[in-house]
Amino acid sequence: MAGRDVGAVEAVYWAKTGGFHSVEPSLEASAFLEGVPRGARELRFVAQAGGGFFTSKPGMLGGAKERRLELDAVVNCCHGGPGEDGTLQGALDLAEVPYTGPSAASAALGMDKLAFGAVVSAAGLPSLPRSGVLPGAGAPAWEGFGGPYIVKPRFGGSSIGIEIIEHWDDVQRYREMGGPHTARGLVVEPYVPSAYDVNVAVRSHPALELSLFERALRSSGSSPILSYTDKYLGGDGMVSAPRELPAQLPADLQDQLAGAAEVVASLTGARGVWRIDFLVDGDSERWWVNEVNTIPGSLAKYLWTGEAAVDFPTLLADMVDEALERPSAQWGSAGADGSALRSAAAIASKLG
């Protein structure tokens, strides 16, 4: 990558069934349409010190002998689900396997819309009021607001399961309907019809850096909000989604958004390449931090162009360097030898 010797590359496929498989790195997306591709080798994952990914190979006497995949670092390209919500990150931490992208804590924060909104508000950044939808609870007491509401899964991506609902009673009915995306809870915020989406990517190594800003566009005849279809079903995913790039923004507005993006990245411990999404009111130019994608689709490579150009091999190589130089978690045993308990017992006896 960009002149760096990265050696052999192993490709690990995490199937919907939960199993890990070693596959040929040269396979194209079409090979995965039916799930695990032909020729894949099943892997066993061990989440403890000295663990990681293991594959079996024939032994000297015909038995199976396990071999550990010796990985310098895992490039995590899991967009959404347990690959982006901290689950995989925590497992890799336990196995002491370095990886790119968010830590377990920042991944979990980025996936929890209610918690992320609270952190942004506590930092003093503009954020639309956001509330959880609790069983039997009344409408949020937002001054001068009575609907319609943007309703989102509390834990999930930036597009799936999002609805505009006029009345609070219908919000509660939507919650009661359940479903795969809403079963873990819903959040609501005011719907601002004149708002549009502005996104920017950030990368954290070798230094904090912003991409170009883009204004995401809605397809003709699509929903009144930026939909999953707008973002991902244009042929090449986010790369082919309709957009204005670079976004045509007033200079002072772009400066404000850039400053806010840097605060969000620092506040949440951004690592790897993230995408930060804003809402901008087209009528007043007011803006709000909306959410983050800690492992964005396509690693937001399409935003690193023009004045902010970073070629994709360099983007990946810098992420790997960061994974090796800036571990996501460092464990220590200080206080775990019983000395803290013995000290506490001694103090208690003196006070007794």
Task: Compute, in degrees rounded to 10, the torsion defined by CA atoms 207, 208, 212, 217.
Answer: 140
Helix (H, G, I), strand (E, B) or coil at 57: strand
Tokens 């409408």, located at residue: 139
- Per-residue model confidence (pLDDT) at position 59: 58
Q: What is the DSSP string of 96-165?
A: T--BSS--HHHHHHHHBHHHHHHHHHHTT------EE--TT------TT----EEEEESBS-SSTT-EEE
Mean pLDDT of 148-154: 95
Mean pLDDT of the chain, nearest integer: 88
Q: Which residues are registered as beta bridge partners of 12?
A: 22
User: Rounded distance, CA 296 to CA 245, Å?
Assistant: 17
Mean pLDDT of 165-177: 94
Residue 322 has pLDDT above 90, yes or no: yes
- Per-residue model confidence (pLDDT) at position 166: 95
- Per-residue model confidence (pLDDT) at position 333: 67
Q: What is the DSSP string of 184-252?
A: T-EEEEE--TTEEEEEEEEE-SSS-EEEEEEEE-PPTT--SS--HHHHH-SSSGGGGS-EESS----HH
Mean pLDDT of 265-277: 96
- Per-residue model confidence (pLDDT) at position 2: 39
CATH, domain 77-128+195-326, list 3.30.470.20, 3.40.50.2000, 3.10.20.30, 3.65.10.10: 3.30.470.20
pLDDT digits (tens, 9 = 90+) for 309-320: 999 999 999 999
Tell me the Cα Rg of the chain.
Answer: 23
Flag whether the pTM goes above 0.75: yes
Most confident by average pLDDT, 80-89, 238-247, 337-346: 80-89
pLDDT digits (tens, 9 = 90+) for 15-56: 999 999 999 999 999 999 999 999 999 999 999 999 999 997
Residue 337 has pLDDT above 60, yes or no: yes
CATH 3.30.470.20 in the chain is located at 77-128+195-326
Mean pLDDT of 62-90: 90
Mean pLDDT of 58-84: 84
- Per-residue model confidence (pLDDT) at position 224: 67
For 18, 24, 25, 332, the CA distances from 21, given in Å and listed in that order, are 10, 10, 12, 32
Which tokens hold the place of 276? Answer: 């930060």
User: Rounded distance, CA 138 to CA 61, Å?
Assistant: 69
Tell which wins on pLDDT, 336 or 205.
Answer: 205
Residue 191 has pLDDT above 90, yes or no: yes
CATH 3.30.1490 in the chain is located at 129-191
- Per-residue model confidence (pLDDT) at position 3: 41
Q: 318: exposed, middle or buried (C-beta count within 10 Å: 0-12, 13-18, 19+)?
A: buried
CB atoms within 10 A of CB 292: 25
Q: Which of 169-183, 228-242, 302-316, 320-334 has the lowest mean pLDDT?
A: 228-242
User: Rounded distance, CA 83 to CA 92, Å?
Assistant: 11
Q: Which of 83-87, 132-136, 141-145 has the lowest mean pLDDT?
A: 141-145
Give yes or no for a contact between 181 and 160, defined as CB atoms under 8 angstroms apart. yes
Nearest of 113, 111, 294, 303 to residue 216 by alpha carbon: 303
* Domain 129-191 = CATH 2.60.120: no
- Percentage above 90 pLDDT, the chain: 70
Beta-strand runs (E) in 254-340: 273-281, 287-293
Q: Which of 82-86, 221-225, 275-279, 299-303 has the lowest mean pLDDT?
A: 221-225
User: Rounded distance, CA 182 to CA 162, Å?
Assistant: 10
Distance of CA 20 to the CA centre of its chain: 20
pLDDT digits (tens, 9 = 90+) for 232-245: 555 555 565 788 99
